[in-house]
Structure 1
Amino acid sequence: MQMFQSSHFCLQPQGDSYTRRSAFDSMLAGCIPVFFHPGSAYTQYTWHLPKNFTTYSVFIPEDDIRLRNGSIEERLSQIPPEQVQIMRENVINLIPQLIYADPRSKLETFKDAFDVAVQAVIDKVTRLRKNIIEGRTEYDNFVEENSWKYALLEEGQREAGWHEWDPFFSKPKGESAGDGSTGSSAEAAKNSWKNEQRDQK
């Protein structure tokens, strides 16, 4: 946590899955998370994180790094210091809704992660009941493989169309990124470790 507290930006690449605990640890320390895949936060935690992800985080597509279309340091250095300060303040303001507060404490002016989740469930149940009464489904032409899109729809939208993040979720597993590498960053790290072990024998 000390490292996070002394850093402006904290890199959050994929691990064995899209998400990782480190992303929340960094935000709790007031550090701006840098994501490389939208599944690491933006499509997973829509109840707890703002839809406008540019207000509290930096997004650099992982293929840009793999294909060497600029460096991480170069991208981050282009953000003005004033903007960095605003983003850090936004991250700090998010902290109450990212933690589960001690029930004995009196957070009368703040909603913690539990409050946010309960309210989101209540809102969803209310919508479902309304739809049942009106005799319709919540979404038109629901497609399971596009399930990540539905939480991103604007109020009143009932169908998920094309989204700028489609390439991140439609890429077949094992497809080449264009530089000879395949799969996720976790898979690449695993292969690298295997190669090192083989070289040592």
Structure 2
Amino acid sequence: SECEMSQVCEFVEIKNHHKPEFMELYTKSLFCLQPPGDTLSRKGILDSMAGGCIPVIFADRQQSLWKLHIPNWKDVSILVPNEPIGEKAVIPYLQNISPEKIANLRGNIKALLPRL
């Protein structure tokens, strides 16, 4: 995958790690890639937010999850448009996000945490 070949991305296999290790990684990370699997929801989305990491989602439908707790996903996550940027361009896409937008997203996540 793109992440595995990158110097700025750490790919972690679930089967080899425990929750404390994930939480430590979330607290050290700026973005956490959260692609849908068998279902749209992923526990890692909420865990990453709890760690202060901005979730990066890949499906429009993921923005409909947990609406009572997260009314506006655009304020707390990045939606990577699959088609326009291509499969191998997620990291450059994220690197082009302005520091102001990143600070805004992180502030919104922090404000949202008591609701989660």
Name the CA distance, whole Å, in 2 between partners of 1:22 and 1:64.
Answer: 25
Which runs of structure 2 are paired with 1:17-28 in the superposition (5 Å)? 17-28=39-50
Q: 1:56 aligns with which of 66, 76, 92?
A: 76
Count of aligned residue pairs for this structure pair: 94
Query: 1:82 is matched with which residue?
Result: 100
Runs of 4+ in 1 over 6 A off after TM superposition: none
Give the letter aligned to residue 50 of structure 1.
P
Give the letter aligned to residue 38 of structure 1.
D
Sequence identity percentage: 35
Q: Is the CA contact 1:11–1:34 (under 8 Å) kept in the aligned structure 2? A: yes
Report the Cα offset of residue 54 of structure 1: 2.2
1:52-109 alpha-carbon deviations (Å, 9 max, x no partner): x2221100133456xx2661111111111122112111111111101xxxxxxxxxxx
Name the CA distance, whole Å, in 1 between partners of 2:32 and 2:26.
Answer: 7
- SS across alignment from 1:10: strand
Q: Which ranges in structure 1 are unaligned for 5 or more consecutive residues?
A: 99-201
Which runs of structure 2 are paired with 1:25-174 in the superposition (5 Å)? 25-40=47-62, 42-51=63-72, 53-64=73-84, 68=86, 71-98=89-116
Query: Whose relative contact order is higher, 1 or 2, with alpha carbons under 8 Å and at least 6 apart?
Result: 2
1:131-189 alpha-carbon deviations (Å, 9 max, x no partner): xxxxxxxxxxxxxxxxxxxxxxxxxxxxxxxxxxxxxxxxxxxxxxxxxxxxxxxxxxx
Q: Is the CA contact 1:28–1:95 (under 8 Å) kept in the aligned structure 2? A: yes
State TM-score, norm by structure 1: 0.44
State TM-score, norm by structure 2: 0.73
Q: Which ranges in structure 2 are unaligned for 5 or more consecutive residues?
A: 1-22
Larger Rg over CA atoms = 1
